[in-house]
Amino acid sequence: LKRIAIVTSGGDAPGMNAAIRAIVRTAHAHGIKILGFIRGYEGLISNQFVKLDARSVGGIIHLGGTILRTVRCPKLRTRKGVEQAAETLKKNKIDGLIVIGGDGSFRGAYALSKKTETAIIGVPATIDNDVYGTDETIGFDTAVNTAISEIDKIRDTAVSHERVFIVEVMGRKRGFLALTVGLTVGAENILVPELKFNPEEICDDIVKSIQKGKRSSIIVAAEGVKGTRKLAKQIRKTTGCDVRLTVLGHVQRGGHPTARSRMLACLFGEKAVNTLLTEEKNKVIAMQGNKITTLSLKETVKHQKPLDIELLKLAERLAV
Ligand code: F6P
């Protein structure tokens, strides 16, 4: 193993920089040369990279975002794009490519793995936590904590004004963030894209909670849940409550990574290089029950991570 490359891809996640640092420093210790392709798969397609060494990743462990920058790259969904990326790997004699990203980035990595001899390793990093095979992704814990601290503030004003708040968190397709955030802020209702919600039931819940003496309610909804605006109107009309909708948006994607996100980045980063050193190919690094392990890239992209419905039920039981 002489030369490896790193790419950060798709939506950024706090802890990506800590992962870059861990990879570069582990590789450096083994005398491996490291390139960082810039702007995600676009840099791979257009052969734009920077050389990375132990010093070039100093002072970044605590920074959100990614020093390599990132894009969503539709070109990698085309045959030509994949071939160009494979060509870049060949031209630069890259033995191993480490892709730091989420579900979509790994699908791109899988397509690329079929066209290249270079070993590809996925390091799960996304605030969505939607990568199959790993309990957690880099950045998820940070986004959860960012959303929690914002919603705690919203609760203050919700209580004093006796209002209902619908708070939209990120997650266009999956509800892992909404579920964890909803449970940990004590939301009265949690809406996820995986399950259709019933507006009448939500209104009933609110009426009942008022009868029980609750003065306010928080509904946490994932971005991918359709009709939150309409829901706000319906709650207003049916219950007579004052309702506000707050969209938290991209604040959830930035900020200093939490200890947990940094820890995962350090462990995943080292494991990615060690996996390449054992000449394994096309793997994804994962945490399963507090153990760092690997599974095949193919397995990851062919499966959907299941949402823990038991957690949703627990949130319901605790929000009485
Ligand atoms: O993949 C992470 C994520 O933040 C999703 O939760 C969200 O739906 C999406 O990215 C937003 O993407 P963009 O920043 O490209 O608008």
Spacing, Cα 239 to ligand 1 middle (Å): 33
Whether the model pTM is above 0.85:
yes
Ligand 1 neighbourhood includes 182 CB (under 6 angstroms): no
Q: Kind and range of the H or E element at 27?
A: helix 16-29
Tokens of 31: 């005398």
- The ligand 1 atom at the shortest distance from the C-alpha of residue 224 is 8
For residue 55, the 8-state DSSP code is G
Among 273, 262, 283, smallest CA distance to 24 is for 273
Task: Report CA 73 to chain centroid distance, whole Å.
Answer: 17
Tokens of 140: 């998820």
Rounded distance, CA 70 to CA 202, Å?
39
Spacing, Cα 13 to ligand 1 middle (Å): 10
* Residue 282 main-chain phi, psi, to 5 deg: 50, 60
Q: What are 90-124's pLDDT values in tens digits? A: 999 999 999 999 999 999 999 999 999 999 999 99
Rounded distance, CA 284 to CA 64, Å?
22
Active site residue 242: no
The single residue of 53, 95, 103, 128 carrying the catalytic annotation is 128
What is the pLDDT, as a whole number, of residue 11?
98
Ligand 1 neighbourhood includes 127 CB (under 6 angstroms): yes
Q: What are 37-96's pLDDT values in tens digits? A: 999 999 999 999 999 999 999 999 999 999 999 999 999 999 999 999 999 999 999 999
Q: Kind and range of the H or E element at 146?
A: helix 140-161
Atom 1 of ligand 1, residue of closest alpha carbon = 11
What is the pLDDT, as a whole number, of residue 141?
98
Tens-digit pLDDT string for the chain (320 aa) = 999 999 999 999 999 999 999 999 999 999 999 999 999 999 999 999 999 999 999 999 999 999 999 999 999 999 999 999 999 999 999 999 999 999 999 999 999 999 999 999 999 999 999 999 999 999 999 999 999 999 999 999 999 999 999 999 999 999 999 999 999 999 999 999 999 999 999 999 999 999 999 999 999 999 999 999 999 999 999 999 999 999 999 999 999 999 999 999 999 999 999 999 999 999 999 999 999 999 999 999 999 999 999 999 999 999 99
Among 128, 122, 96, smallest CA distance to 109 is for 122
Tokens of 185: 């802020």
What is the pLDDT, as a whole number, of residue 30?
98
Q: How do 119-124 and 96-101 pair as beta strands?
A: parallel
Rounded distance, CA 228 to CA 88, Å?
45
Q: Which residues pair with 287 in a beta bridge?
A: 292
Helix, strand or coil, per DSSP, at residue 22: helix
What is the pLDDT, as a whole number, of residue 82?
98
Rounded distance, CA 41 to CA 10, Å?
9
Spacing, Cα 17 to ligand 1 middle (Å): 18
What is the pLDDT, as a whole number, of residue 147?
98
Spacing, Cα 110 to ligand 1 middle (Å): 21
